[in-house]
Amino acid sequence: MLFALICNDKPGHLQVRLGARPDHVAFLNDLNAKGTLKFAGPFLDADAKPNGSLVVIEAADQAAAKALADADPYAKAGLFASVDIRPWNWVFNNPANG
């Protein structure tokens, strides 16, 4: 099952994001190697600075998706004001649908 992790940064926490980014990228690369990560990227503010994240993962259930979200170095660094974890159905342009 796919889950969208919709993460909103705390205001004024750009330096927290930048400091945790190498560990975050390593975490996502590991998820990608395991086939768990489907895609990810930052949301941008009006000045094109990152202010949140969209991460789509495959997980067995909501609890497993939350465990992965909690393990993200960004989450551990206290970057996020909120994380919404929602089941998601990839319909259009899904490479798995050939």
79 and 17 in contact (C-beta within 8 Å)?
A: yes
What gap in Å lies between CA 67 and CA 59, rounded to an integer? 10
Q: Spell out the residues 6+ positions from residue 62 whose beta carbon is closer than 8 angstroms to its own.
A: 3, 85, 87
Q: How does pLDDT run across 16-73, given as a tens digit for each residue? A: 999 999 999 999 999 999 999 999 999 999 999 999 999 999 999 999 999 999 999 9
**What ranges do the domains of the chain cover?**
2-91
What kind of fold does domain 2-91 have according to CATH?
Alpha-Beta Plaits (3.30.70)
53 and 42 in contact (C-beta within 8 Å)?
A: yes
Q: How does pLDDT run across 66-86, given as a tens digit for each residue? A: 999 999 999 999 999 999 999
79 and 20 in contact (C-beta within 8 Å)?
A: yes
